[in-house]
Amino acid sequence: TSGYYTKTRTDVVTSDTSFTDTLLAYGYITGIVGLSDNPADSSGTIVSITMPDSTVYADTTDVHGAFSILNPVSSPADTVTVVGSVSHPGYYGGDSTFALTYGDYDFGTVSLEAIPPAPTNLTAESDWDGMVPLHWEPAINGTLLSYVDGTPDSYFGYGSPGNGFAVKFTPTSYPVVLNLARLLPNNDNPYMFYVWDDDGTGGAPLTVIDSHYVEKVFPGQWNYVNLNISIDSGSFYIGYIETNDGTNYFGRDTLNLDNTSWVFSGGSWESLTTAFGGAYNCDFYFEAVVNTGGTKTILSPKKPIIKRGLKSNSIPDAKPYTPKFKYNLKNRATLNYFNIYRDTTTINDISALTPIDTTSNNYYTDTTVTNGITYHYVVTGMYDTGESDPSNEAVATPKELITSGDYMIVDMADTSLQYNGNTAAEAVEQSLINLGYTGTTVSKNYLLANYTDLSGFNTVFLLLGQNSSTTNMGVLGNNSPEESLFVNYLQSGGGLYIEGNDIGWTYDDGSGFTNIWPYFHANYLDDGTGDAGTLNGIAGTFTEGMSFTYSGPQYYIDHFSAAADAWEILENASPAYYTVIAFGDTTYHYNTILSSVPYAALTGTTPNPDTLMQDYYNFLISNTATGISVVKKGKVLKYNLSQNLPNPARNKTTISYSIKKAGHVNISVYNMIGQKVMTVVNEDKKAGIYKTSIDTKKLNSGVYFYKINANDFSMSRKFMVVK
């Protein structure tokens, strides 16, 4: 009969017989499963009971989260060990093993926590020597507090160490956990990040809640700071204070303002609505993420509770009671750290993998790799409620470091700047390739992580980009590692080309280039405006007769003049001012070219910009103060082999040579008895001026000769090695 377990008995009936028996009422396994972040609909959770013979009894929760499963144990004398499971896509589930007997079981109310969203936009950089840098964005797991529209109107910075900006945030309820902050910079200068209380005069920032030095900054994208700060009442501020590392520029909106940005200037805070007469009022691209905190609920069954009267004529409809579940309107998970997973094949499942490391940052450098092997990576977030799903997969292949070549391009320009369809680095690199030169292009981070000596490169092209309404020029901070690296390169006789529209202004302001500026022998005259047009070469230099059209951003292009021992080599036609200065040194025998206009922005057909690049290159490697005339346009090249510098040599020495026409070039080193001990150059070369180095660390102290053979030209010079 409906609602009771079926009972079967066998009797031998020979005559009229009567008997009585008792049918046992159905037992039900019931409960409520609530979804922690969805009070309106908790349907769709699968609750199942798996018997020892693998038979599964299951039900799916209704909108209230209620479930009811017919108890498969129909005899009070039986006890069966079963596995109860609860699962819902996107939520942490659970299993429980328990002894099941006849009767009703009530699991009570169970909360399923949502699985926190996975990290996003994981990238892995290839081509690093013995390492793979990773970078990703953490999930926005909570309520995003923001006053911006998503597209910065411009980027803005204070420009003086010890000053900065902050944005005020007020949650709609309390308590909350401030678990994440993010800021949108467009240069990579480090800064001091702060969280302040609003306990200052008039609600200004005062008490520091959190602070730390942000050393690794990713320009042009949101930069995240992981936090875990309880806020019980009131407002808080997110912001930064500028350090001696250089000016920081952050995105800002200048229309439809919420008036929540403040400035720290001269030792005190003031709202930007009134500071400086309100001239700089804006909404900065600083955002905060808050949630209510909490922990994961552990799933476990209760002891059986007999609840008679809950029987139903239909098992699927046997939902025994309505829920009394307390829902949490926000995801409660708090991030603890990230797991880094790696494999040499595509990662489809992380269950069989062990993290190679953990980090609380949103970036990581894997230094346990082998050059030439391709690695696959995913990242997960570890929360107090459990582990998130994996991020997207990123793939990278490390490779051996390139330590020498015709050129190195150091790209510190904003890649959003395009010139005739190319970035600054792409344009310079393509021109050098067109001319037959080989080298490498690196980022600032790659440079600092891998190089302590650049003397293996004949030339270095340092591209800093441009200040504009939406981008900022890269800066060599005073006494920064990168500035020191380039200064050392020049002192070893290198050839450095450097471009950026505000190099002179930044030097004059005192916020960058202090140590390297004297190597340019240039005078900074004016910050300039947006009036670059036709750029003409200068008579008596290698640019004589050249003319180009400027097609880059019209934004504060510096005006220069040359010192008495340097040369102006490009001049804007109207209004007239010099934009490019060249200098050759007689002490260290280095050469520099300083430009306030990017090479990529120069267009023309008489000549093609490649011609200018060839002359730039020839001058940079000329290794002489008279190089401006030696490589003057139209000058006929001669065969030559210069004396090495330094001489005597200890670890390395540099030689320059020129060849009149294309052909095979061999330069070798010989000891005093004529035995060849080293081959320095052995390849085909185009006509031109070249520079190379001899690794004297491999030679014993003594006197040696180096000899060049090129076509019909042969010449040798003597030098000394000392240890």
pLDDT top residue among 688 and 177: 177
CATH number of domain containing 100: 2.60.40.1120
pLDDT tens digits, one per residue of 206-253: 999 999 999 999 988 999 999 989 999 999 999 999 998 888 999 999
Answer yes or no: do 622 and 647 share one domain. no
Is 80 exceeded by the pLDDT of residue 293?
A: no
For residue 98, is it within any domain?
yes
Answer yes or no: do 423 and 533 share one domain. yes
List the structure tokens of 680. Answer: 């320095």
For residue 183, is it within any domain?
yes
Answer yes or no: do 446 and 468 share one domain. yes
Mean of per-residue pLDDT scores for the chain: 87
Distance between CA atoms of residues 646 and 643, nearest Å = 9
Answer yes or no: do 87 and 168 share one domain. no
| Average pLDDT value for residue range 441-466 | 92
Distance between CA atoms of residues 317 and 324, nearest Å = 19
pLDDT, residue 39, reads 63
For residue 140, is it within any domain?
no
**306: pLDDT confidence band, cut at 50, 70 and 90?**
very low
Q: Which of 569, 599, 630 corresponds to the end of one domain?
A: 630
pLDDT tens digits, one per residue of 383-421: 888 899 999 999 999 998 888 889 999 999 887 788 988
Distance between CA atoms of residues 453 and 408, nearest Å = 12
List the structure tokens of 68. Answer: 């009811």
Is 50 exceeded by the pLDDT of residue 369?
A: yes
Of 482, 478, 404, the C-alpha closest to 443 is 482
For residue 435, is it within any domain?
yes
pLDDT, residue 526, reads 93
| Average pLDDT value for residue range 444-463 | 91
Q: Of how many residues is the chain composed?
A: 723
Answer yes or no: do 579 and 441 share one domain. yes
For residue 10, is it within any domain?
no
Are 642 and 623 a contacting pair, CB within 8 Å?
Answer: yes
| Average pLDDT value for residue range 288-310 | 47
pLDDT, residue 240, reads 98
pLDDT, residue 300, reads 38
Cross-strand pairs, 192: 213, 241
Answer yes or no: do 494 and 609 share one domain. yes
For residue 492, is it within any domain?
yes
Alpha helices (H) in 494-535, listed in sequence order: 503-509
Q: Measuring CA to CA, how many Å separate 422 from each of 381, 419, 445, 468?
A: 37, 5, 21, 17
pLDDT, residue 332, reads 57
Instruction: Give the DSSP H or E segment for 486.
Output: helix 481-491
Question: What range does the domain containing 644 cover?
Answer: 640-721
Answer yes or no: do 599 and 675 share one domain. no
Cis peptide before 518 (omega within 30 of 0): no
pLDDT, residue 163, reads 96
pLDDT, residue 191, reads 96
For residue 364, is it within any domain?
no
**Residue tagged 């939520």 (tokens):** 91
SS3 518: helix
Report CA Rg, the chain: 36
| Average pLDDT value for residue range 293-302 | 38
Residue % of the chain over a pLDDT of 90: 54
Q: How many domains in the chain?
A: 4
pLDDT top residue among 176 and 632: 176
pLDDT tens digits, one per residue of 119-139: 999 999 998 999 999 999 999
Answer yes or no: do 615 and 469 share one domain. yes
CATH number of domain containing 695: 2.60.40.1930
**298: pLDDT confidence band, cut at 50, 70 and 90?**
very low
Is 50 exceeded by the pLDDT of residue 626?
A: no
**637: pLDDT confidence band, cut at 50, 70 and 90?**
low
| Average pLDDT value for residue range 564-570 | 92
Packed helices 424-434 and 609-620: angle between N→C axes, nearest 10 degrees: 80
Distance between CA atoms of residues 114 and 247, nearest Å = 41
pLDDT tens digits, one per residue of 18-67: 888 888 888 888 888 888 777 678 889 999 999 999 999 999 998 888 89
Amino acid letter, residue 115: I
What is the DSSP code (8-state) at residue 608? -
Q: Residues with Cβ < 8 Å from 564, sequence gap 6 or more?
A: none
CATH number of domain containing 241: 2.60.120.680
**623: pLDDT confidence band, cut at 50, 70 and 90?**
low
Amino acid letter, residue 11: D
Alpha helices (H) in 411-476, listed in sequence order: 424-434, 444-450
Are 358 and 115 a contacting pair, CB within 8 Å?
Answer: no
